Amino acid sequence: MTINDKTEKPDINWPVTLVLGLTFLAAVTIVPWYGIVYGFSGWAWVFFAVLLVASGIGIGSGYHRLWSHRAYEAHWIMRLYLAIVGGMAIQNSILVWCIRHRFHHRDVDNNDKDPYSIGRGFWFAHVGWMLRDYESGKLDWSVVPDLERDRIVAWQHKYYWPLVLVTNIAVPLLLGWVVNDVWGVFLLAGILRLVISHHVTFFINSLAHMWGSRPYTDENSARDNWVLAIVTYGEGYHNFHHLFQSDYRNGIRWWQYDINKWFISTCAWIGLANNLKRTPDFKIQRARLAMVFKRAQAKIDGSVENPRWRELFETEYAQFKQTIAEWQQLQMDRMQQSRQKLVDAIDQSALTARYRELEWELKMQRKRVMMLTAQYVG
């Protein structure tokens, strides 16, 4: 069935519907009732916070950036930890989650192929896509051959439900027993934590494709939103991510809130992660300036003819293309020298310096074009 099929709806996915529905119902009824009648201990709130962040990192740093996008490599200890706490979020196994996410990136906004296309509405992208067996959500194992060879991923897939039961029932009950607050810890660190973890992730599929800015590309619906970044451990810088999905960061500036970025960097510092992929700053600046030019052109086309502004704009755009061409030539020169083993320390230093100069030129040009647009077009 596709989005165009109007005659019948696909079958309800009862396991998912019951898990999402019953846990949500408990979170909005039993949890507040227990809090009002009995109150929650300080330990219950501590375990709630710790397990909430752990499961969020398991999804963001593990399921998403490590396994879906191969943005870095991790020691088996780190991979095992991420597989366990990621599974605690009850968002399916790594294999299943990554299949759908890779299709989401490949076919983003295609209502027939994107498993959670925002084009089918907020509700569908947020949670509706899981409640029925839609054709767009069918699993195609051909996109995860790399993950099928990962022993930890295969182990987690095989024992997914036992892990879910242990981490979501046994662990909260055990922690509650240790601090003499079994039901308080279970309701906060088990039920409420799970529901919040679910919808925090779901916000990326829904709100992050509706609410925010698109500074890097407008070829898809993904947005950057610092508010969403705070509640999603850094995943809210989604416009950047959809254009540069192999980057281990979503918030690329040091001050941008991205817990997953900091977690991965810390793990790399202590030797548990390596080969952290970063998009060259030149490509980032090129994307941002290209968007500035695109929006400036739209304003020109929609405004009264201004010869002076058009001349300045064309001059700036010619310089932009020249900078891109020079950067591409530097790339070719470096590759050629590397093949011939001619790169010495001096040559490498000169190439790096010129790269930095080109990055700076793009950054300054973006500011200049934005000022010109505001001055001549408004």
**Domain end: 274, 303, 321, which one?**
274
Which are the contacts of 170, defined by CB distance < 8 A and separation ≥ 6? none
Claim to verify: residue 102 and residue 242 sit in the same structural domain? yes
With CA atoms as reference, report the closest residue to 94 among 78, 83, 107: 83
Give CA–CA dist 116/312, Å, rounded.
43
Segment 172-177 shows an average pLDDT of 97
Domain-located, residue 355: yes
Claim to verify: residue 260 and residue 295 sit in the same structural domain? no
Q: What is the pLDDT of residue 118?
A: 97
Domain-located, residue 1: no
Claim to verify: residue 174 and residue 249 sit in the same structural domain? yes
Per residue in 6-41, pLDDT tens?
Answer: 457 899 999 999 999 999 999 999 999 999 999 999
In the chain, the number of structural domains is 2
Q: Residue 315, Cα to own-chain centre: how many angstroms?
A: 37
Which are the contacts of 239, defined by CB distance < 8 A and separation ≥ 6? 212, 213, 214, 215, 216, 217, 222, 223, 224
**Is residue 274 within a helix (H) or strand (E), and if so which, with residue range?**
strand 273-274
Domain-located, residue 5: no
**Residue numbers of the domain that contains 189:** 14-274
Segment 250-276 shows an average pLDDT of 96
**Domain end: 274, 307, 334, which one?**
274
Claim to verify: residue 335 and residue 221 sit in the same structural domain? no
Structure confidence at residue 371 as a pLDDT band (50, 70, 90): confident
**Domain end: 259, 274, 289, which one?**
274
Residue 123 reports pLDDT greater than 50? yes
Which are the contacts of 207, defined by CB distance < 8 A and separation ≥ 6? 122, 126, 225, 228
Give CA–CA dist 112/96, Å, rounded.
19
Structure confidence at residue 132 as a pLDDT band (50, 70, 90): very high
Give CA–CA dist 198/26, Å, rounded.
14
Q: What is the pLDDT of residue 303?
A: 65
Q: What is the pLDDT of residue 1?
A: 41
Per residue in 218-256, pLDDT tens?
Answer: 999 999 999 999 999 999 999 999 999 999 999 999 899
Q: Is 159 exposed, middle or buried (0-12, 13-18, 19+ CB in 10 A)?
A: middle
Segment 109-131 shows an average pLDDT of 96
Lowest model confidence (mean pLDDT) among 92-101, 133-142, 311-320, 337-346: 337-346
Q: What is the pLDDT of residue 2?
A: 47
- Where is pLDDT greater, at 207 or 294? 207
Give CA–CA dist 73/183, Å, rounded.
39
The mean pLDDT value of the chain amounts to: 89
Q: What is the pLDDT of residue 185?
A: 98
Map tokens 């010495």 to a residue: 344
Q: What is the pLDDT of residue 9?
A: 84
Per residue in 65-119, pLDDT tens?
Answer: 999 999 999 999 999 999 999 999 999 999 999 999 999 999 999 999 999 999 9
Claim to verify: residue 108 and residue 209 sit in the same structural domain? yes
Domain-located, residue 312: yes
Per residue in 18-27, pLDDT tens?
Answer: 999 999 999 9
Contact assessment for residue 317 and residue 373, using Cβ atoms and an 8 Å cutoff? no
Q: What is the pLDDT of residue 6?
A: 47
Q: What is the pLDDT of residue 368?
A: 75
Claim to verify: residue 184 and residue 316 sit in the same structural domain? no
- DSSP letters for 61-99: IIIIIIIIT--SEE-HHHHHHHHHHHHTT-S--HHHHHH
Residue 351 reports pLDDT greater than 70? no
Domain-located, residue 37: yes
Per residue in 321-349, pLDDT tens?
Answer: 777 777 677 767 666 666 555 555 555 66
Give CA–CA dist 281/244, Å, rounded.
11
Per residue in 280-302, pLDDT tens?
Answer: 888 898 898 888 888 877 777 76
Q: What is the pLDDT of residue 129?
A: 97
Claim to verify: residue 291 and residue 189 sit in the same structural domain? no
**Is residue 273 within a helix (H) or strand (E), and if so which, with residue range?**
strand 273-274
Give CA–CA dist 286/1, Å, rounded.
40
Contact assessment for residue 289 and residue 320, using Cβ atoms and an 8 Å cutoff? yes
